């Protein structure tokens, strides 16, 4: 389906509520084109780790009829969070988890995870998901998936293309038909 553009939504709100709302709505419009704003304070990944995490992101939230996690910048988001949000111990644990995935890929297929075919990558992730991967901390898959989902659904693509973003809803309907949207409203 076609996602309504935020400008249309805001313009609609202005029409609905009259020109008295113009100043705050103008402020909302001025924010509309701000780029996603984060920069990691330092690199955490080497090239191999970056490719590995990118490949994981791509399999967890792939591009379908909407862009996936890689297009939404999730690998860079995860690197920023590891650099500036995680505690050193949690950062080590996360890196150990992805290393374990890569080690499993090497042992099983003789290739790094990032170099595997998509089907093989899914097989590795499925093994991890079911807690069947030796040397992988329990809970790592859930943790990793949670990071990808957080990064994706808080990204502009996640909010505005995969989900429906209402910056200024203007009204509340507590009996709105799901069939009218067919998606989830983002926060």
Partner 1 sequence: MANYDFDAIVIGSGISGGWAAKELCEKGLKVLMLDRGRMVEHKKDYITEFKGPWQLPYRGTLPPAEVARDYFLAKWGGAANTDRNHFYNNDRLNPFDYEGSTPFRWVRPNQVGGKSLIWGRVSLRWSQIDFDANRKDGYGVPWPISYDELAPWYSYVEKFAGIAGGREGLAQLPDGEFQPPHAMNVAEIWVKERLEKAMPDRKLIHTRCANMTEDKPEQGRFRCQRRNQCARGCSFGAYFSTQSSTLPAARKTGNLTLLSDKVVTSLDYDPKTRRVTGVRTVDANTGEAKIFTSRIVFLCASAMASVQILLNSRLPGSDRSFANSSGTLGCYIMDHAMRTFFWGTVPEGQLDQYVEYGRRPAGVYIPKFRNLNGQDADADFVRGYGMQGGASRAVAAPDGFGASMKEGLRKYGPWTIQFNVFAECLPYKNNTLSLHPTKSDRFGMPLIVFDVAFRHNEERMMVDAARQGEIMMRAAGLVDVGSRQDEHVPGDAIHEMGGACMGDDPKASVVNRWSQAHDADNLFVTDGSQMSSTNCVNPSLTFMALTARAADHAVKLAREHVI
Q: Which residues bind partner 1 (CB under 8 A)?
A: 13, 17, 20-21, 23-24, 27-28, 31, 34, 36-38, 59-62, 64, 68, 77, 80-81, 84-87, 122, 125, 129, 145, 149-151, 153-156, 158-160, 162, 165-179, 181-187
CA dihedral (161, 81, 103, 51) in degrees, to 10, reads 50
How many residues in the chain?
187
Q: How far is the CB of 178 from partner 1 (least distance, A)?
A: 5
CA-CA distances (angstroms) from residue 118 to 7, 112, 131, 135, 148? 38, 12, 20, 23, 17
Report the nearest approach of partner 1 to the CB of residue 135 (Å). Answer: 20
> Of 40 and 46, which has the nearer Cβ to partner 1?
40
> Residue 125 is encoded by which pair of tokens?
């992730």
Comparing CB distances to partner 1, the nearer of 47 and 65 is 65
Cβ 172 to partner 1 shortest distance, Å: 4
Closer residue to partner 1 (CB): 25 or 45: 25
Phi and psi at residue 70, in whole multiples of 5°?
-70, -45
Question: Residue 180 and residue 177: Cα distance in Å, rounded?
Answer: 5
Cβ-proximal residues to 168 (8 Å cutoff; 6+ apart), any chain? 9, 10, 13, 25, 28
Tell the smallest beta-carbon distance from residue 184 to partner 1 (Å).
Answer: 5
Q: How far is the CB of 60 from partner 1 (least distance, A)?
A: 5
Q: Which of 162, 145, 156 is nearest to 57 (CA)?
A: 145
The residue (of 110 and 182) whose beta carbon lies closer to partner 1 is: 182
Nearer to partner 1, 110 or 174 (CB): 174
Tokens of residue 43, six digits: 């690199």
Q: Which is nearer to partner 1, 47 or 180 (CB)?
A: 180
User: Least CB distance from residue 74 to partner 1, whole Å?
Assistant: 11
> Sign of torsion, CA 13 19 23 26?
positive
């Amino acid at each position: 389906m076609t996602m309504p553009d935020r400008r249309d939504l805001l313009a609609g709100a202005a029409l609905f509520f009259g020109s008295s709302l113009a100043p705050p709505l103008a402020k909302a419009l001025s924010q509309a084109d701000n780029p996603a704003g984060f920069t990691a304070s330092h690199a955490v990944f080497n090239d191999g780790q970056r490719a590995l995490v990118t490949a994981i992101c791509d399999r967890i939230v792939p591009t379908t009829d909407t862009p996936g996690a890689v297009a939404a910048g999730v690998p860079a988001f995860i690197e920023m969070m590891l650099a500036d949000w995680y505690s050193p111990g949690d950062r080590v644990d996360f890196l150990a988890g992805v290393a374990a995935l890569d080690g499993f890929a090497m042992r099983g297929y003789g290739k790094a995870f990032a170099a595997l075919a998509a089907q093989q990558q899914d097989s590795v992730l499925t093994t991890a998901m079911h807690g069947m991967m030796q040397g992988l901390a329990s809970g790592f898959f859930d943790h990793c998936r949670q990071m990808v989902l957080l990064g994706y659904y808080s990204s502009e693509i996640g909010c505005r293309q995969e989900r429906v973003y209402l910056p200024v809803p203007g009204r509340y309907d507590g009996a709105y038909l799901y069939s009218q949207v067919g998606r989830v409203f983002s926060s």
